[in-house]
Amino acid sequence: MFYHIKLKCYVVIDLKTRKLNHADLGQMLMYVNYFDREIKTADENPTIGLILCTNKNDAVAEYVLGEKQRQIFTSRYQHELPTVEELKRELQRKWRCFLSLNLLKKP
């Protein structure tokens, strides 16, 4: 649990070493609701929940969280670092994407 000074809200982070399931979402929902009702003051913003997991199912998250999807986020992480070749390919892909959107000027 952290407090984000600029956002003026609590941030609850949960790290899962397995695939996300509905119980994980329910648990985070309980944490977020608890902080919003019992800890947060009137001048603070709603609590943010973040679940990091090895794999996730967006449909499960949508059904369990409903409107709370604006406060609770799930993200997948990797167990291993990518290889140098994988990093190079990803950087090249991102660069092409930026150029196609005219976000960066060509050198």
Q: Look up the domain containing 11 and give its range.
A: 2-79
pLDDT tens digits along 55-88: 887 777 776 777 777 777 777 776 677 788 888 8
Asked whether residue 75 is assigned to any structural domain, the reply reads: yes
> How many domains is the chain built from?
1
Q: pTM higher than 0.85 for the full model?
A: no
**Does 37 or 18 have the greater pLDDT score?**
37
In angstroms, what CA-CA distances link 43 with 7, 30, 35, 39, 46? 11, 21, 14, 12, 10
In a domain? residue 9: yes
Which 3 state secondary structure label does DSSP give 51?
Answer: strand
CATH code, domain carrying 39: 3.40.1350.10
